[in-house]
A and B are shown apart, each in its own frame.
Chain A
Amino acid sequence: MSQSDLREAADLVAGLPPTPAVWCTGLRKRYGKRTAVDGVSLEIGRGEVVGLLGPNGAGKTTVIKMLLGLVRPDAGEVMLLGRPAADPSARVRVGYLPELFRYQPWLTAAEVLALHVRLSGVDIPAPEQREALALVGLGERAADRVGGFSKGMQQRLGLAVALVARPEFVVLDEPTSALDPLGRVDVRDIVLSLKSRGIAVLLNSHLIGEVERVCDRVVILDRGHVAASGTLLELLGQHEVRLHLTGLPPAGETRLSAAGRVEREGEWFTVALPVDDEDTVPDLVRDLAALGVRVHAVEPGRISLEERLLGILRDGTEGGAA
């Protein structure tokens, strides 16, 4: 093979799209007679932050454990960072904070990190390990035994463990369940910083606001199925604006209808806006004012992820947007 052939082959390989951080298809798991997960397929691209939502018992943690080889699927396939998940080396660049986070109480925080670095097989210098502890606010407690840590501190330690071995894919299962509001903000910042560094994140959280703020995409699980999945825009659809108006002439009503579908409750008008750009609402208000309409209030509205989630779970049969 000539030098140019080699280069061509290298270019070809380099030009291939990177393998997804995780890809799974047809995951199924039964515990006795109960089906916990039934035909779940999902894909998370490199650098993508995906939220996993669903009610208790929807199978979220089971799906996560199957992705990481902690639970054996009855059926289905999993590829982690381009390798079959059955091969332990697929997990070299994977960080995981379990929902049930416990670390060896007889070790110090720094020793727990050193243990995970050794097991990951990645060479991480000691200062970098200390940075991971400092990032989660445990820099001062590195030499303290984990046994003396509060639940919140143990969860912070778990976050450091998930991040210490330079992961390319991080799985956070309820990462803020034991954290105070400050801790939640810290976690949000950490996830956003992972996103900016191109690290893929799978975030399972009950805090819908948290998911809405940081995730590119959301997968909603219900009774072991993917009930819906898509980007936030796809799932939440259009924006709307609520206006409190008096003295509305027919021309004003026509102007409102031109902006979008109108629903009226007394003096309140809700207009569903088909396009979400910066000009639609200011133009509408300007035109209404020019028509002599008295504008008392303008409230931007958007179907919240929570409403959408509840809607999907109540319907039970709604298809995914993507």
Chain B
Amino acid sequence: MNARAVLTIAGLTLREASRRRVLLALGVLTLVLLGLSGWGFSRFAAETGGSLTSGEARLTASIVLNLVMFGYSLIAALGTAFLAGPTLSGETESGIALAVLARPIRRSTFLLGKWLGLVVFGSGFVVLAGLAQCLIVRASVDYWPPEPTKALALLAAQTVVLLTLAVLLSTVISPMASGVVSVGLFCTTWVAGVVGGIGDSLGNDAVARVGSVSRMILPTDGLWRGAMNAFQDPSALAFFGDADAGAFPFLSMAPLTGTYLAWAVVWTAMVWALAAVSFARRDL
């Protein structure tokens, strides 16, 4: 593998994101979201000041923080999924890839460069936006997540998982379809996770299994739940009671296990390898 070529392609992908105004669009969207949530949090602090116990205030801050973070992860998911399509299958369709791949580089080198560029872009976005959000919450309602580093890392990992899937899809289907399918799967897994949580709280094993199975098939929801758990105040679950908290989509019952994290890594490696094989076999 040619490291110089990988970095060149990764840099090219980042430059594409910036020159095509994806970066600008995301930046503006993030600023709007940060501004709105900052205003919301400060109004919440001003209007409920004194009327809520500190536990209630922390619970509310946790839930709202998780909700806003979900918004960021959705933006990152949409952004990277719709960037992965055009940058890979769009380039092969338009012919841009012909001249590039006739250079002395392997297809897997090209794919790794594209993927790396998208990883830096997607995870960079969620980490920066998430960090800014945490600082705003701290300034407005004086809440600081228990494990912000872990939470942001898991949010980034969720983005990486989804964009790896988008990269695989874009080696086999059209750019538009790959974006739609990966975002669709992301949302489906999230809904399945919520359904599973409801099943858990009702004690219905069959329904609860929907969530567990979908979390294995596509690890985005599992990682997201791990991130929520690290963002939220530990007392929030105690406040709700375990069963009810499980059914609530913006609280997470348990931290992520090492085994699940390992599975997410293996899943990403497998999907990436599949993408590399599929791209290497493709006739341009």
B104 touches A71 (CB 8 A): no
Whether A104 lies near B16 (C-beta < 8 A) is yes
Q: How far is the CA of A317 from the CA of B101 in the complex (A)?
A: 36
B94: A residues at CB distance < 8 A: 100, 102
Contacts of A153 in B (CB 8 A): none
Query: Mask for B163-191, Cβ within 8 A of A = 1, else 0?
Result: 00000000000000000000000000000
- Are A100 and B12 CB-contacts (below 8 A) given A91-B102, A94-B102? no
B36 at the interface (CB under 8 A from A): no
Number of interface residues of A (CB under 8 A): 30
Q: Which of A112-120, A127-135, A283-291 contacts B (4 or more CB under 8 A)?
A: A112-120
Give the residues in chain A near B96, CB-CB below 8 Å.
102-104
Distance A246 CA – B104 CA, assembled complex (angstroms): 66
A91 with B104: CB separation less than 8 A: yes
A72-B99 in contact given A106-B16, A119-B8 (Cβ < 8 Å): no
A66: nearest chain-B partner, CB-CB? B283
Contact A98 B95 (CB under 8 A): yes
Q: In whole angstroms, how far apart are the Cα atoms of A102 and B5 in the complex?
A: 20
B284 within 8 A of A: yes
Instruction: Tell me the complex Cα distance, A72–B101, Å.
Output: 13
Interface flags for A53-79 (1: CB within 8 Å of B; 0: not) read 000000000000100111110000000
Q: Does B254 contact A (CB under 8 A)?
A: no
Contacts of A106 in B (CB 8 A): 15-16, 19-20
Q: Knowing A71-B284, A119-B5, A119-B8 touch, does A101 contact B104 (C-beta < 8 A)? A: no
Question: A102–B104 contact, CB under 8 A?
Answer: no
Most chain-A CB neighbours within 10 Å: which of B4, B20, B99, B281?
A: B99
Question: Smallest CB–CB gap between A125 and chain B, Å?
Answer: 17
A161 proximity list for chain B (CB < 8 A): 99
Residue in contact with B104 in the complex, picked from A98, A107, A121, CB distance below 8 Å = A121
Q: A91-B103, A106-B19 are in contact. Are A98 and B4 (CB under 8 A)?
A: no
**A69 contacts which chain B residues (CB < 8 A)?**
101-102
A40 lies within 8 A of chain B by Cβ: no
Chain B 71-115 near chain A by CB (<8 Å), digits 1 or 0: 000000000000000000000001110111111111000000000
Of B15, B100, B104, most buried by chain A (CB within 10 Å of CB) is B104
Docked-complex contact A118 and B104, CB < 8 angstroms: no
Give every chain B residue within 8 A of A115 (Cβ-Cβ).
8, 12, 100
For the complex formed, measure the closest distance between the CB of B192 and the CB atoms of chain A, giving whole angstroms: 37
Q: How far is the CA of A101 from the CA of B15 in the complex (A)?
A: 21
Contacts of A101 in B (CB 8 A): 95, 99
Asked if residues A116 and B281 are in contact (CB atoms below 8 Å), the reply is no
Question: Which residues in A have their C-beta under 8 angstroms from that of B2?
Answer: 121
Per-position contact with A for B15-29: 1 when CB-CB < 8 Å, else 0? Answer: 110011000000000
- Which residue of B4, B8, B16, B101 is within 8 Å of A70 (Cβ)? B101
Q: Which residue of B lies closest to A90 (CB)?
A: B104
Min CB gap A265→B, angstroms: 50
CB atoms of B104 and A88 under 8 A apart: yes
CB–CB A116/B12 < 8 A? no
Asked, given contacts A106-B19, A118-B4, whether A70 binds B95 with beta carbons under 8 Å apart, the answer is no
With contacts A121-B2, A121-B4 known, what are 13 further pairs, Cβ within 8 A?
A65-B284, A72-B281, A88-B106, A91-B104, A98-B98, A98-B99, A100-B95, A102-B98, A104-B96, A106-B15, A106-B20, A115-B12, A119-B105
The 6 A-B residue pairs whose C-beta atoms are closest, nearest first, are A100-B95, A106-B19, A119-B103, A98-B98, A96-B102, A102-B95
A-B contact pairs, 20 of them (CB 8 A): A70-B283, A89-B104, A91-B102, A92-B104, A96-B98, A98-B95, A98-B99, A101-B95, A102-B98, A104-B96, A106-B16, A106-B19, A107-B15, A107-B19, A119-B5, A119-B100, A119-B105, A120-B104, A121-B5, A158-B99
